[in-house]
């Protein structure tokens, strides 16, 4: 992609006031040589966002975001680098040079796009003038009856397309190449030689659609006839307008979204405009399509919290479900998704006009989280008071939880679901394991090619030793239940027995920390327990210390396994090499910490 010369970029950097640019989005206070404020890129209560005007950079020590004035504007506004350079050059009063590697063809293409933008702006202004000052006032009266003030109408540049089929052709007949350009941007429809071209929008209220820079790229048109079909028509996709890559109203709400730290996403033009007219400004709307990956990216670029607010009917619920499926993979620990469901048969426009801002905000506070909506949706036909219903929900929800890439957030979701179902958290992500099969027992047998045990194990099978300790001293199970439930044993039979022991912990505790092997469920588990006890016949004088020794050793082995996986992933995923390096470094530090603790206990 062509870019501006480096010398020009440096001149823009030197001429632009970093503090002034940042200060338009963040309230800053001086602290020594720094300026501090609440980070606009994540939610926080204590300022960790710092600006160093003398050094020309910003840095947040909470979320790690940082960079120069270009980086700040790209992140805060979702602009490309060239768009950022252009905006800051305008602020500095610098004329734009020719893009590096520019060609005659590229220049012609840019000039053509500029002519399309200019035409769309002229059409927008023309429709707006017809609405406000035209001879037919029915569209203006319609909007006023729906509660819109003239100020809101002007803010969104709403307009009116009259009934004629050749209105735009007549209006722009003196402009060079006007007919071709009108067809190019979708304002005129040409179905071939058999029919004359005609205006797409006729006798409709017009909603201009803008890109992130506030440039008009398309239109939506609504009929005023209660029985008119279709109710809405929209511009087709063009070289300037791709509906899946834009959110209606976002260019106006960006600063409010940054200030609130949240974005409310609705479905329709009037939903958004009605919210804004009642003072709820941090919102945007989809453009008649299901939520797309690009729209999700626009949301996360500007906010760490999103509330999906759709109509209170079956279609609204379906739209919310599609939004959940699109959002779940991009979730992180500091990204929050909620769902606001309005009463049946109402949309945001109707609700706020009839009930007001206060009632809407009260509902907003009660918006449900992603895991709550996910659980509700998947359990609609289940009885969660019955074991079968709980098991079915776990089976249905597990694939969705596996799509959550952030491990901490996934763990919290699992804990939340487990608490609701009153089951151990480890049951959510693991199915019921089969009993031991022939060849799985071999207590001291290790996997071929497995990493060597850490120093100090003396060649023992640490997994078998662990189970022997628990079988002989069952009081250790309740004391370390959470740690034991999270262990990943390599021997699947041992892992199954461990899960049973943890699940039986309350019964063992109630029986005075006594465990009879005969009380284990099934002959295969009883047989496995007796084999382990026979192999681990030594009674340890300090079982608590020996258990800690085993747990640390298993943790080291688990970290080693994660390091191997990370290495393999780094080989196959070159695009995330930096992320894999950070992950490997963190795992190495964790292994060093565990080994240091392990060795200190041995000494």
In this predicted structure, what is the pLDDT of residue 1?
58
Buried b (16+ CB within 10 A) or exposed e, 182-191: bebbbbbeee
For 215, residues 6+ apart whose C-beta sits below 8 A from its C-beta are 117, 120, 121
**Residue 39 to residues 18, 22, 165, 262: CA-CA distances in angstroms?**
15, 11, 52, 13
Tally: H helices and E strands in the chain: 26, 16
Closest residue by Cα to residue 51 from 42, 40, 43: 40
**Rounded to whole angstroms, how far apart are CA atoms 510 and 478?**
11
Q: Phi/psi at 308 (nearest 5 deg)?
A: -90, 120
**DSSP H helical ranges for 162-288:** 167-171, 178-184, 250-260, 269-277
Residue 447, pLDDT score: 43
- Cα 545 to Cα 90: distance, rounded to the nearest angstrom: 69
pLDDT value for 175: 84
Place of tokens 């999700």: 296
Give pLDDT, residue 587. 58
> Cα separation of 345 and 312, whole Å?
5
pLDDT attached to residue 338: 94
Instruction: Judge whether residue 437 has pLDDT over 70.
Output: no
Neighbour count for residue 523 (Cβ, 10 Å): 10
pLDDT at 30: 82
What the block records as the tokens of 52 is: 């160093």
CA atoms within 13 A on the CB side of 231: 6
**Exposure string (b/e) for 266-301, b if CB count within 10 Å is 16 or more?**
bbbbbbbbbbbbbebbbbbbbbeeebbeebbebbbb
Q: β-pairing, 34-37 with 159-161? A: unpaired
Chain-centre distance for alpha carbon 44: 18
Per-residue pLDDT for 388 more than 60? yes
- The whole-number pLDDT of residue 435 equals 43
User: What rounded mean pLDDT belongs to the chain?
Assistant: 82
For residues 11 and 67, is the Cβ–Cβ distance under 8 A?
A: no
Reported as type and span, the H/E element at residue 109 is: helix 104-133
Query: E strands of 78-203, at which residues?
Result: 159-161, 188-189, 198-199
3-state secondary structure of 244: helix
DSSP-assigned beta bridge partners for residue 248:
285
Q: Give the H/E segment covering residue 546.
A: helix 543-572
User: 460: burial class by Cβ within 10 Å (0-12, 13-18, 19+)?
Assistant: middle
SS3 state at 209: strand
pLDDT of residue 579 exceeding 80, the answer is: no
Backbone angles phi, psi at 535, to 5 degrees: -75, -40
Write out the H or E segment, with its range, that includes residue 77: helix 69-77
The overall longest dimension of the chain from CA atoms, in Å, is 101
Model-wide pTM > 0.85 = no
Quick check: 4 pLDDT over 90?
A: no
The mean pLDDT value for 432-459 works out to 41
Query: In angstroms, rounded to a whole number, what is the distance separating the alpha carbons of residues 564 and 75?
Result: 34
3-state secondary structure 392-415: HHHHHHHHHHHCCCCHHHHHHHHH
User: Length of the chain in residues, anyone?
Assistant: 603
- The answer to whether 258 touches 25, Cβ cutoff 8 Å, is yes
CB 85 within 8 A of CB 5: no
Give 320's DSSP letter: H
* Half-sphere exposure of residue 30: CA atoms within 13 angstroms, side-chain side: 4
Q: Which percentage of the chain shows pLDDT scores above 90?
A: 30
Residues 257-302: tens digit of each pLDDT: 878 889 999 998 999 999 999 999 999 999 877 888 888 888 887 7
pLDDT at 596: 58
205-260 confidence digits (pLDDT tens): 999 999 887 899 999 999 999 888 889 999 999 989 988 889 999 989 988 887 88
**Could you give the dihedral angle defined by the CA atoms of residues 405, 408, 411 and 413, in that order, rounded to the nearest 10 degrees?**
-80
Amino acid 566: pLDDT: 63
For residue 57, is the peptide bond before it cis, meaning its omega torsion is within 30 degrees of 0? no
Q: What is the pLDDT of residue 557?
A: 80
Q: Nearest 5°: CA angle at 285, between 281 and 290?
A: 155
CA nearest neighbour of 70 among 130, 14, 114: 14
Res. 439: pLDDT tops 90: no
> Is residue 522 within 8 Å of residue 435, measured between CB atoms?
yes
HEC sequence for 439-492: CCCCCCCCCCCCCCCCCCCCCCCHHHHHHHHHHHCCHHHHHCHHHHHCCCCCCH
C-alpha 255/C-alpha 252 separation (Å) is 8
């Amino acid at each position: 992609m062509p870019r501006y010369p480096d010398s020009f970029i440096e001149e823009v950097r030197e001429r632009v006031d970093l503090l002034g640019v940042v200060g338009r989005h963040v309230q800053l206070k001086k602290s020594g040589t720094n300026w501090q404020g609440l980070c606009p890129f994540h939610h926080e209560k204590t300022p960790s966002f710092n600006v160093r005007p003398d050094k020309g950079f910003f840095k947040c020590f909470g979320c790690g975001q940082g960079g120069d004035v270009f980086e700040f504007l790209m992140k805060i506004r979702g602009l490309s680098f060239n768009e950022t350079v252009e905006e800051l050059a305008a602020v500095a009063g610098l004329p734009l040079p020719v893009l590096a590697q520019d060609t005659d063809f590229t220049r012609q293409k840019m000039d053509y796009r500029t002519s399309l933008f200019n035409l769309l702006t002229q059409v927008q202004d023309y429709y707006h003038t017809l609405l406000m000052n035209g001879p037919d006032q029915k569209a203006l009266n319609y909007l006023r009856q729906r509660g819109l003030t003239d100020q809101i109408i002007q803010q969104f540049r709403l307009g009116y397309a009259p009934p004629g089929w050749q209105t735009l052709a007549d209006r722009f007949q003196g402009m060079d190449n006007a007919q071709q350009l009108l067809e190019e941007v979708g304002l005129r429809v040409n179905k071939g030689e058999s029919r004359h071209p005609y205006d797409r929008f006729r006798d409709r209220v017009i909603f201009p659609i803008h890109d992130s820079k506030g440039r008009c790229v398309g239109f939506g048109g609504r009929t005023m006839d209660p029985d008119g079909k279709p109710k809405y028509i929209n511009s087709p996709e063009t070289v300037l307008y791709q509906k899946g890559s834009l959110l209606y109203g976002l260019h106006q709400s960006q600063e409010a979204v940054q200030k609130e730290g949240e974005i409310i996403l609705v479905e329709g033009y009037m939903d958004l405009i009605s919210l804004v007219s009642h003072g709820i400004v941090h919102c945007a709307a989809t453009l008649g399509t299901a939520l797309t990956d690009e729209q999700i990216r626009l949301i996360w670029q500007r906010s760490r919290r999103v509330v999906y607010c759709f109509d209170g009917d079956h279609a609204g619920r379906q739209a919310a479900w599609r939004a959940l499926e699109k959002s779940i993979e991009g979730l992180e620990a500091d990204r929050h998704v909620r769902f606001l469901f309005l009463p049946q048969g109402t949309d945001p426009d109707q609700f706020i006009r009839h009930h007001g801002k206060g009632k809407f905000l009260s509902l907003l506070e009660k918006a449900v989280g992603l895991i709550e909506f996910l659980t509700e949706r998947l359990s609609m036909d289940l009885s969660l008071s019955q074991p079968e219903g709980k098991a079915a929900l776990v089976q249905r929800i597990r694939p969705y939880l596996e799509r959550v890439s952030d491990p901490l957030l996934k763990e919290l979701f699992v804990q939340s679901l487990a608490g609701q179902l009153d089951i151990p958290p480890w049951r959510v992500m693991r199915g019921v394991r089969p009993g031991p099969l022939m060849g799985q027992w071999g207590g001291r047998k290790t996997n071929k090619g497995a990493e060597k045990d850490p120093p100090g194990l003396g060649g023992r099978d640490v997994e078998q030793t662990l189970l022997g300790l628990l079988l002989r001293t069952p009081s250790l199970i309740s004391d370390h239940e959470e740690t034991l439930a999270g262990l990943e044993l390599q021997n699947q039979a041992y892992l199954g027995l461990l899960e049973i022991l943890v699940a039986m912990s309350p019964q063992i505790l109630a029986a005075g920390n006594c465990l009879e092997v005969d009380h284990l469920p099934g002959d295969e588990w009883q047989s496995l327990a007796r084999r382990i006890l026979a192999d681990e016949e030594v009674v340890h004088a300090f079982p608590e210390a020996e258990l800690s020794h085993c747990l640390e050793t298993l943790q080291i082995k688990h970290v080693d396994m994660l390091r191997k996986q990370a290495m393999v992933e780094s080989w196959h995923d070159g695009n995330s090499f930096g992320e894999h390096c950070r992950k490997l470094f963190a795992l190495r530090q964790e292994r060093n910490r565990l080994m240091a603790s392990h060795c200190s206990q041995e000494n």
